[in-house]
């Protein structure tokens, strides 16, 4: 810790997982840290939702790369297992196709048997896929842990060693189809493109490390929901001396001579700071938190030309009956390619839907009363650039989603059993959650918007501003968001230049 840390005041705008990671680490190192959150609870898109006796996560429900979280807590002087109860899920999830279901697991032997059951003749290809993707992961992962605000980082030996493993010119689907030679089996290892809001047929091939990470290291559930991670981070940050102010929306980041000096709240209060960490959605921050004309690179015109992720239509349902679906269920549209095109190429709302259901109380009885169920339903949909009027479409789309659930799953018609309900549309993401264009997974992760070509953790437009969250490097997804928080904390502390 630097000797002058205690004299430096760090403001963190937004109490999402990236901002909380930075806050708890810097507070541990002796900095004065104030976290300002617009809503009445911490977490942002990782916050909890309570509907009567039913508990839900707002956004992320898959926890991968547990070790990143372990290390983040350790840097803040805490132990993850003392703060949270985690359990590894086996099988990881069920994938439902129109004529068969598939239950991937992290057990290599069981996985070979499951592929033989569902995709006979392809089971011997699994070991080769894991071996090759393990090599890719080992070369790419060190590159994700660096900051790219300095040009010289592009010439780091780790990056040069990674170049042959970037799968340049190939998509995630291309990579996995080469491994398996079967479309549905390839889709079983490419649906993970939805974690970053992209199409498997456009997502860069290097993201084949995501399914590898799942199969190599497993996925976890946190007792009480993944929102408990942010709650625990906030508790650690406060123990370390940070101040967290809820219901304190920031109106402006104050800038003089291209240097940030603090913030002004919507209440009019001004708070001075030596550094400002922005954990707000990047597109929202760039278009709302700086005076017009301050940003020279990320202007409204520039943002308008950047590619964005898709959005999501969300249903949170408290059900008055027990159900037997697994913890994670992914249902593929009968014509999956057409469904994906309807999101990214020819935006429209279809009847043939892909959707995801999280039945958390399958493994966690704290989420719903005995004999009841808490169902989280996510449908990928176009972001707000598509111009869909959700005030007109939401009610009909809800019926369509419930119809598809009844047709494609064992849940049946849920309507008579719904006791609590909440809907989030792309318009709600944009207005209530302050997500730019309702793009739930932030900026897209095409090669032209990654590493140095993504907004830098040490913001290039304004000095003494640092960025964390899915809109900056390394990108969307909880592990990479935690990593962004660690990178920012280390940059501020002068430990990673």
Distance of alpha carbon 127 from its chain centroid, rounded?
A: 28
Predicted pLDDT at 192 = 94
Question: In the sheet where 270-272 sits, what is the strand order?
Answer: 250-256, 259-265, 270-272
SS (H, E, C) 123-135: HHHHHHHHHHHHH
What is the token pair recorded at 33?
Answer: 């840290």
Distance of alpha carbon 454 from its chain centroid, rounded?
A: 16
- Angstrom CA distances, 3 to 7, 8, 241, 364, 493, stand at 9, 10, 17, 45, 10
What's the rounded Cα separation, in Å, for the pair 351 and 368? Answer: 30
- Bridge partners, residue 276, by sequence: 11, 465
Distance of alpha carbon 428 from its chain centroid, rounded?
A: 17
What is the token pair recorded at 335?
Answer: 């014509």
Kind and range of the H or E element at 13?
strand 9-13
What is the token pair recorded at 436?
Answer: 């730019």
Predicted pLDDT at 1 = 43
> Please, what is the end-to-end C-alpha distance for the chain in angstroms?
15
Inter-residue contact 38 to 250 (CB < 8 Å)? yes
Predicted pLDDT at 3 = 46
Predicted pLDDT at 154 = 83
Inter-residue contact 349 to 403 (CB < 8 Å)? no
CATH homologous superfamily for the domain 5-46+62-80+226-305+444-492: FAD/NAD(P)-binding domain (3.50.50.60)
Residue spans of alpha helices (H) in 221-364: 227-239, 282-288, 300-305, 336-344
Residue spans of alpha helices (H) in 390-477: 390-408, 426-431
Return all residues near 301 (Cβ < 8 A) that are at least 6 apart.
none
**Strand-pair category, 275-278 with 311-319:** unpaired
- Angstrom CA distances, 266 to 38, 43, 255, 285, 288, stand at 9, 20, 16, 14, 12
What's the rounded Cα separation, in Å, for the pair 340 and 309? Answer: 12
**Strand-pair category, 355-359 with 328-331:** antiparallel
- Bridge partners, residue 328, by sequence: 358
**Strand-pair category, 94-96 with 9-13:** unpaired
- Domain residue limits, the chain: 5-46+62-80+226-305+444-492, 112-215, 310-431
> Would you call the peptide bond into 474 cis, given omega within 30 degrees of 0 as the criterion?
yes
- Bridge partners, residue 357, by sequence: 329, 377
pLDDT per residue, tens digit, the chain (497 aa), is: 444 777 899 999 999 999 999 999 999 999 999 999 999 999 999 999 999 999 999 999 999 999 999 999 999 999 999 999 999 999 999 999 999 999 999 999 999 999 999 999 999 999 999 999 999 999 999 989 889 888 888 888 988 898 999 999 999 999 999 999 999 999 999 999 999 999 999 999 999 999 999 999 999 999 999 999 999 999 999 999 999 999 999 999 999 999 999 999 999 999 999 999 999 999 999 999 999 999 999 999 999 999 999 999 999 999 999 999 999 999 999 999 999 999 999 999 999 999 999 999 999 999 999 999 999 999 999 999 999 999 999 999 999 999 999 999 999 999 999 999 999 999 999 999 999 999 999 999 999 999 999 999 999 999 999 999 999 999 999 999 999 999 999 999 984 43
What's the rounded Cα separation, in Å, for the pair 389 and 437? Answer: 13
Q: Mean of the per-residue pLDDT values for the chain?
A: 96
Inter-residue contact 305 to 283 (CB < 8 Å)? no
State the CB neighbour count (10 A cutoff) for residue 9.
16
In this prediction the pTM is 0.95
DSSP at 476: S
What is the token pair recorded at 241?
Answer: 């001396």
What's the rounded Cα separation, in Å, for the pair 343 and 118? Answer: 28
Predicted pLDDT at 496 = 41
Q: What are phi and psi of 269, to 5 degrees?
A: -65, 135
Residue spans of alpha helices (H) in 172-253: 172-180, 183-187, 209-217, 227-239
Query: Are 5-46+62-80+226-305+444-492 and 310-431 the same fold in CATH?
Result: no
Residues 119-145: b if buried by 16+ CB within 10 A, e if exposed: beebbebbeebbebbeebbebbbebbe
What's the rounded Cα separation, in Å, for the pair 351 and 333? Answer: 9
DSSP at 456: P
3-state secondary structure of 194: helix
Q: What are phi and psi of 123, to 5 degrees?
A: -65, -30
3-state secondary structure of 279: coil
3-state secondary structure of 73: helix
Candidates 1.20.1060, 3.10.350, 3.40.50, 3.30.519; CATH matching 310-431: 3.30.519
What's the rounded Cα separation, in Å, for the pair 173 and 179? Answer: 10
What is the token pair recorded at 15?
Answer: 């109490």
What is the token pair recorded at 300?
Answer: 């409204």
């Amino acid at each position: 810790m630097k000797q002058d840390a205690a004299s430096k005041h760090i403001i963190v705008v937004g109490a999402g997982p990236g901002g909380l990671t930075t806050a708890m680490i810097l507070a541990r190192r002796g900095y004065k840290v104030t976290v300002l959150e617009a809503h009445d609870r911490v977490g942002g898109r990782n916050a909890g939702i309570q509907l009567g006796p039913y508990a839900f996560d707002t956004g992320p429900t898959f926890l991968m790369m547990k070790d990143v979280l372990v290390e983040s807590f350790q840097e803040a002087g805490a132990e993850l297992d003392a703060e949270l109860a985690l359990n590894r899920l086996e099988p990881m999830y069920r994938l439902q196709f129109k004529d068969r279901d598939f239950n991937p697991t992290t057990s290599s032997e069981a996985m070979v048997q499951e592929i033989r059951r569902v995709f006979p003749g392809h089971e011997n290809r699994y070991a080769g896929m894991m071996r090759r993707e393990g090599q890719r992961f080992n070369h790419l992962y060190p590159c994700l842990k660096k900051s790219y605000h300095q040009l010289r980082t592009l010439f780091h030996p780790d990056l040069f060693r990674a170049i042959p493993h970037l799968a340049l010119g190939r998509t995630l689907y291309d990579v996995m189809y080469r491994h398996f030679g079967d479309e549905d089996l390839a889709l079983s290892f490419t649906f993970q493109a939805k974690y970053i809001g992209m199409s498997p047929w456009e997502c860069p091939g290097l993201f084949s490390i995501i399914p590898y990470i799942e199969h190599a290291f497993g996925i976890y559930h946190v007792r009480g929901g993944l929102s408990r991670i942010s709650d625990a981070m906030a508790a650690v940050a406060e123990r370390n001396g940070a101040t967290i102010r809820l219901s304190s929306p920031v109106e402006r980041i104050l800038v003089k001579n291209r240097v940030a000096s603090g913030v002004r709240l919507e209440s009019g209060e001004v708070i001075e700071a030596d550094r400002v960490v922005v954990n707000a959605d990047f597109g929202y921050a760039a278009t709302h938190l700086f005076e017009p004309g301050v940003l020279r690179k990320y202007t409204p015109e520039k943002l308008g030309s950047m590619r964005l992720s898709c959005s999501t239509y969300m249903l949170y349902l408290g059900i008055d009956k027990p159900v037997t679906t697994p913890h994670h269920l992914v249902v593929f549209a009968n014509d999956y390619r057409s469904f994906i095109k309807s999101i990214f190429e020819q935006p429209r709302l279809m009847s043939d839907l892909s959707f995801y259901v999280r039945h958390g109380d399958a493994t966690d009885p704290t989420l719903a009363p005995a004999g009841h169920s808490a169902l989280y339903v996510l449908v990928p949909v176009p972001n707000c650039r598509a111009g869909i009027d959700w005030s007109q479409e939401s009610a009909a789309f809800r019926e369509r989603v419930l119809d598809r659930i009844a047709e494609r799953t064992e849940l049946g018609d849920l309507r008579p059993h719904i006791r609590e309900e909440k809907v989030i549309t792309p318009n709600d993401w944009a207005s209530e959650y302050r997500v730019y264009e309702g793009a739930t997974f932030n900026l897209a992760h095409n090669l032209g918007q990654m590493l140095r070509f993504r907004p830098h953790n040490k913001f290039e437009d304004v000095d003494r501003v640092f960025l964390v969250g899915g809109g900056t490097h390394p990108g969307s997804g909880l592990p990479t968001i935690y990593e962004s928080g660690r990178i920012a904390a280390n940059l501020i502390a002068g430990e990673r230049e």
